[in-house]
Amino acid sequence: NCILSSSNLGLTHDTFFAAKLINLYSQLTNPRTTRKLFDEIPHRTVYIWNCILKCYCRDRRYKESLLLFSRFFSSQTPDVYAVQISLKACSAVKSLGFGKIIHGFIKKTDQIDRHLFIGSALIELYSKCGKMDDALCVFEEFIEPDAVLWTTMITGYEQNGEPIHALKFFARMAMNRGVLIDPITLVSVVSACAKIFDLKLGKSVHGYIFRMGYENVVSLLNALLNLYGKTGSVNAASKVFEKMEEKDVISWGSIISCYAHNCFPEEALVLFEDMLARGIEPNAVVFISALQACEATCNVETGKKIHKLAVRKGLDLDILVSTALIDMYMSCSCPDEAIEVFDHMPKKDVVCFSAMLHGCVQNGRESQSIGVFRDMLARNFNPDNFDLVKVLTACSELGVLLQTSCMHGFAIKCGVVNNSFIGASLIESYAKCGTLDSATAIFRQIIDRDVVTWSSMLAAYGFHGKGKEALDLFNEMIESSSVKPNGVLFLSVLSACSHAGLLKEGIEIFNVMVKDYDICPNSKHYGIVVDLLGRIGELEKAMVFIGQMQEPVEANVWGALLGACKIHQNVGIGETAAKELQRLGYCQAGYYILLSNMYAVDEKVG
């Protein structure tokens, strides 16, 4: 009504009155109403154009703002404020082409070119579009850049994954005594330190923050919490958090994340409960950290409570929170709950599909994992190498040769068949599907074989009881390649010897591992040697070998000995092994059945 009245009275023809009116409308009404008034004004001054541009940008209607600027530019010469507003809009929508047109106009207008805030807007535009070289060119045009220009450059480098350049630029800025370093600059500097995990430099910046009197700036302290969390400095993070006079949700999220990701998940959950008790509303980031803490502790009950809270807050459908829920449920051996979360997700990305795929394999749902992989491809998501490895693991467990062949073809199509992990998984999958020849063919086709590839082929021979072939391959590796065997590779060779009953050769390999390669054997190595001795009935030697172990004997070693005692009906040593298992807290029914069977055969039952 006001617009119609103004129009009917002819007041919109008065440019002074129209300017005051549109300024008022831009502040008090929505863009649509302001636009109606704007369209009624026949003679639009630069000030009037600026008001409507500012109105649209304030409402984040950046594309419409740029369309208006085009109309403005075609009829009048924009001033510095119109240019600044339009550059901000270009940055928001990453419209590099439009931004370069405006930059060209600026270069032709010497009066605009000298304004520092225009330079800052240009640097921000190029930074947002990933063009740091162009941003640097703009910066270098200013003889005396101010703090805003320096900060925009530092932030640009930090946000474009160039933290080293950000820190070098900060060093240049610090050398310039005429420029004040403010908290906004330091936030980007601390973030750059966090990205390169430079704790020493970060602590130096922390000291500077304290000397400058910025120790109560919340955004800066949050950046420090992030730095200390990422560098594993839990005590330093805790001290910063405790001294903070004001804490926001980001502060709480940062400290919870710090504890959750640095082996203190229980403490993270305590902090989460404390946060809720203080009435602070958790955001998605906080929920994710708390769920990761539940995952680390396998605390599914607390995880379910957090899930219910996320539902009440309306954050359970956030794609990152949903993915964290899937990871948590899968790690806590609750695949059905994870599948329910996945099925209820309104939007899915490649990360949540990967979480489902890995979780299904982890929980013995191999058939389901292949279904997830199929759906993933149907939605045009590109699986990464880790996804392919997991699918091949599922194929191995299922023993379906056709499925393995299909995955082999897919790997060839994707050009990743020569990746060491993919190649190793194909070797394992073909071997477990019963086609050792195909596994060998894959191995021979791989040009650059690393320790993972050699280990997989050795394990394949062991799986098929080809101990001699495994030893020949091991010798080939030693003689013809530069690969240095590790503990996992020796585990494959020892296992092959054990399956083939090659006692002497197995003991020799064990000695080579310890003496020639200075590899400290772990419980799995010891367990295989005990299994090897047990398979050929050398139970007394196995007991002597266990007695010579230089580390605590774990359950798998005693379990291997107990299994051998069942085969060779040695009740005496079997009882010793069973007692040790009981002492270690391994009261599995299988062990008792083995001992019971020995007693039955030895007529000791009853």
pLDDT tier, 111 (very low <50, low <70, confident <90, very high otherwise)? low
Start-to-end CA distance of the chain, whole Å, equals 103
| CA-to-CA separations, 151 to 45, 158, 163, 167, 179, in angstroms, rounded | 34, 10, 13, 11, 11
Structure tokens that stand for 518 in this block: 């200075």
Domain locations in the chain as residue ranges: 1-143, 527-606
CATH class for the domain made up of 1-143: mainly alpha
Residues in Cβ contact with 80 at an 8 Å cutoff, skipping those fewer than 6 apart: 111, 112, 115, 117, 118
Tokens 């998984």, residue located:
425
CB contact at 8 A, 241 and 247: yes
Q: Tell me: the pLDDT tens digits for 310-330? A: 999 999 999 999 999 999 999
pLDDT at 2 over 70: no
Average pLDDT score, the chain: 90
Residue bearing the bigger pLDDT, 418 or 149 = 149
- In this structure, the chain runs to a length of 606
pLDDT tier, 3 (very low <50, low <70, confident <90, very high otherwise)? very low
CB contact at 8 A, 416 and 382: no
Give the lowest-confidence range in 109-123, 134-148, 391-405: 109-123
pLDDT at 60 over 70: yes
Give the lowest-confidence range in 82-86, 380-384, 498-502: 498-502
CB contact at 8 A, 290 and 306: yes
CB contact at 8 A, 142 and 116: yes
CA-CA-CA-CA torsion for 461, 462, 467, 473, nearest 10 degrees?
Answer: 40
Tokens 């060998």, residue located:
440
Q: What pLDDT is recorded for position 588?
A: 62
Residues in Cβ contact with 290 at an 8 Å cutoff, skipping those fewer than 6 apart: 256, 260, 268, 269, 272, 282, 306
Q: What pLDDT is recorded for position 1?
A: 41
0.75 exceeded by pTM: yes
Residues in Cβ contact with 378 at an 8 Å cutoff, skipping those fewer than 6 apart: none
pLDDT tier, 443 (very low <50, low <70, confident <90, very high otherwise)? very high
DSSP-assigned letters across all residues of 519-588: PPP-HHHHHHHHHHHHHTT-HHHHHHHHHT-SSPPPHHHHHHHHHHHHHHT-HHHHHHHHHHHHHTT---
Residues in Cβ contact with 496 at an 8 Å cutoff, skipping those fewer than 6 apart: 458, 459, 461, 462, 466, 467, 470, 471, 502
Residue bearing the bigger pLDDT, 532 or 200 = 200
CB contact at 8 A, 85 and 54: yes
CB contact at 8 A, 333 and 362: no
> How far apart are alpha carbons 45 and 78 in whole angstroms?
10
pLDDT at 606 over 50: no
Mean pLDDT of 525-532: 88
Residues in Cβ contact with 128 at an 8 Å cutoff, skipping those fewer than 6 apart: 91, 92, 94, 156
Q: What pLDDT is recorded for position 181?
A: 93
Q: What pLDDT is recorded for position 26?
A: 74
CA 57 to the chain's CA centroid = 34
> How far apart are alpha carbons 423 and 456 in whole angstroms?
9
For the chain, percent helix, then strand, then coil, each to nearest 5? 75, 0, 25
DSSP-assigned letters across all residues of 28-94: HS-HHHHHHHHHH-SS--HHHHHHHHHHHHHTT-HHHHHHHHHHHHHHS---HHHHHHHHHHHHHHT
CB contact at 8 A, 66 and 90: yes
Residue bearing the bigger pLDDT, 587 or 215 = 215
> How far apart are alpha carbons 460 and 458 in whole angstroms?
5
- Residue 490: which of 514, 466, 468, 465 has the closest Cα? 514
> How far apart are alpha carbons 275 and 269 in whole angstroms?
10
Mean pLDDT of 426-442: 96
> For 564, what's the count of Cα atoms within 13 Å in the CB-facing half-sphere?
28
Q: 198 in helix, strand or coil? A: coil
